[in-house]
Structure 1
Amino acid sequence: MKIHSPSLVELHAFLAVCREGSFRRAAEELCVTQAAVSRAVQRLEEHLAGGRLFERSPAGVTLTPRGVQLRKLTERHVLALESAAETMGRQAQPQRVRLSVIPTLAIQWLMPRLPAFNERHPDMNVELRQFKHDEDFTRDDVDLWIEVKRPRRRWPDHVQTRYLLGRELIPVCTPRWSKEFRAPQDLRRATLLHHTNFPDNWERWFAKAGAPCTPTLGPGFDLTMHLIVAAKAGMGVAVVPGCLVERELLQGELVMPFDIDVSCGRGYFVCWKRDTPAFTARDKFAAWLADQAHAEWSATDAGAAAANQGP
């Protein structure tokens, strides 16, 4: 049988230009030179013998009607081939897990535990991938995500999720600050550090503590890591997920002025694509994460112990 289809190299170059709207950006995506992309597209046009696939202009490139038709006929199938190759390659090397995780959780909770995982599973590698805000969970370079559940946002239908930890918020400050507070309502006059994405966290905490109010908030931060650093620096009192300050509480850098936690209704979730075949490394790592999250030791207990020890 005579083969009429063009090469995958040419189709990949064509589809990359379609996605990026630029030969230069397509070359960056494919990690080749711009000239290589141009030559591949030119060969594809000659192979199909039907004229140009792109209209070029100073503003970029746009598809011709023939280019639009070719993209519709080929894109899904080329992506399916890539997915198949990725799946087969993963099955051949099942001991790698690629993880995307919120940076603060990675630094404060995951990293201190990874050495124990590596010691227990020396044949498995956990590779961290770039964390992206507003993730759509369609990337092919990630096997598992650890993401926060955002308010008024549903998980996409193509994603399976499992709650991990992080719903419980606790107040923390330096030992010196904690001496100034005798009752929860005393915190109203403190400098209340807050997360700018979740400004109602303090109001939730005061309500749970039996001192409902509309608190006056102090400095705001868009990362929990920044909140923790600010609290350690003595800038005020922060309310944060207890799992993110385990080390600081155990070492006495931070204490809980009051042993009261409140659920924020969010927390961190392990996520993976429903249609991705299961494989041993991913499943083992996900199970280990669950074990770590549900360990008997709790940040709240540690915080209470640290507070009782004093500065």
Structure 2
Amino acid sequence: MKLQSPSLIELHAFLAVCRLGSFRQAAEVLCVTPAAVSRAVERLEQHLENCRLFERSPQGVTLTEQGRQLRDLTERHVTALEAAAVTFRRPRTPGKLRVSVAPTLGSKWLVPRLPRFQALYPGLEIEMRQFHHDEDFNRDDVDVWIDLKRPRHRWPARLQVVYLLGREIVPVCAPGVLPRLKHPSDLAREVLLYHTNFPDNWARCFNAAGLGSEPKLGLGYELALNLIFAAKEGMGIAVIQPCMIERELENGELVIPFALSVSTGRGYFLCYDRQQLIGAEQRAFVQWIQDEARQSINADPVSKAVV
């Protein structure tokens, strides 16, 4: 019987471009050149009798209707094949759990809690692995991810994905800035510190507060750690997830001036491969971190807003 299906190399290239919306980013994930990804997609289009899979423009690439159909028909199966290969290749170390977590969430929220978990399960070693911003969840050095949901992001079908926390954002400032803030409209006169990856956060806050004006953004920071530091130093007002500043709120280094909580629709999610066998202690970590997240959300620091 003559095989009609295309090669896995071509399908991997096609699905990477689908997932990332860019030939360049797909090449980085696949560790090849953009030209190699482009040639693989061209071969796939020719194999499918000159089927056009992408529309290319200066703004990027978008799937054609035929491209969407091919993605829907192949993505789950290619992902399952990759997972099967990883299952037989990946060495599992008993008593160890390898975790990849967004850096600021790791240092500000997870790490301060780990001693409590390790007191309960001293036999399980938690190993923090490098975080990748464009994660494809195919790594063989990670058991559990705590990752940020991104716009138009599609989780691989093999993953078990559970929302943890971080969907809500609040305005925060140093205590010395507080006397100038009597009403949310006072924000328009202040320096608005923002995360450069999410410049729309302040617009969400202004809309939620019923302010008709557009926010005039001040200083931008690529790292949430620097954003928090700038707010503590009184350089302006930041908008950030309460889970990132629990210690600063407790110590009085930062205050929430208004009971104004806004959902970004994003947040941090716990992800692990449901096809991988994990031990009882690893499962205990998965349950424990969900319990910790619920406790953080139920603490509701916004209810302690000063104004």
Same fold (TM over 0.5): yes
Aligned partner letter, 1:141: D
1:297 to 291, 296, 299: 299
Matched position secondary structure for 1:213? coil
Give 1:143's aligned residue: 143
Give 1:183's aligned residue: 183
Matched length: 229
Structure 1 stretches of 4+ moved >3 Å: 79-83
Aligned partner letter, 1:146: I
Matched position secondary structure for 1:114? helix
Aligned partner letter, 1:274: R
**Which deviates more, 138-147 or 201-210?**
201-210
Does the aligned pair in 2 maintain the 1:194–1:217 contact within 8 Å?
Answer: yes
**Which deviates more, 279-288 or 247-256?**
279-288
Separation of aligned partners in 1, 2:259 and 2:192: 17
Give 2:283's aligned residue: 283
Give 1:266's aligned residue: 266
Aligned partner letter, 1:124: L
Separation of aligned partners in 1, 2:109 and 2:31: 37
Residues 20, 137 of structure 1: CA spacing in aligned structure 2 closer, same or farther, 3 A cutoff? closer
Residues 189, 81 of structure 1: CA spacing in aligned structure 2 closer, same or farther, 3 A cutoff? closer
Separation of aligned partners in 1, 2:116 and 2:103: 20
Larger radius of gyration: 1
Give 1:220's aligned residue: 220
Separation of aligned partners in 2, 1:279 and 1:202: 43
1:200-211 alignment, distance < 5 Å: 200-211=200-211
CA deviation string 1:129-167 (max 9, x = no partner): 111110000001100000000112222223221100001
Separation of aligned partners in 2, 1:244 and 1:222: 15
1:100 aligns with 2:104: no
1:113-128 alignment, distance < 5 Å: 113-128=113-128
Aligned partner letter, 2:287: A
Aligned partner letter, 2:255: V
Separation of aligned partners in 2, 1:166 and 1:150: 13
Separation of aligned partners in 2, 1:165 and 1:80: 31
Separation of aligned partners in 2, 1:211 and 1:80: 53
| 1:122 Cα offset (Å) | 1.3
What runs of 5+ residues in structure 1 fail to find an aligned partner? 1-18, 22-76
1:86 to 86, 90, 98: 90
Identity %: 47
Separation of aligned partners in 1, 2:209 and 2:140: 45
Does the aligned pair in 1 maintain the 2:121–2:281 contact within 8 Å?
Answer: no
Aligned partner letter, 1:218: G
Aligned partner letter, 1:86: R
Separation of aligned partners in 1, 2:89 and 2:198: 42
| 1:189 Cα offset (Å) | 1.0
What runs of 5+ residues in structure 2 fail to find an aligned partner? 1-29, 33-80
| 1:233 Cα offset (Å) | 1.3
Separation of aligned partners in 1, 2:191 and 2:85: 56
Superposed CA RMSD: 2.4
1:2-151 alignment, distance < 5 Å: 83-84=87-88, 86=90, 89-90=92-93, 93=94, 95-151=95-151
Separation of aligned partners in 1, 2:159 and 2:231: 35
Separation of aligned partners in 1, 2:86 and 2:157: 22
Residues 177, 20 of structure 1: CA spacing in aligned structure 2 closer, same or farther, 3 A cutoff? closer
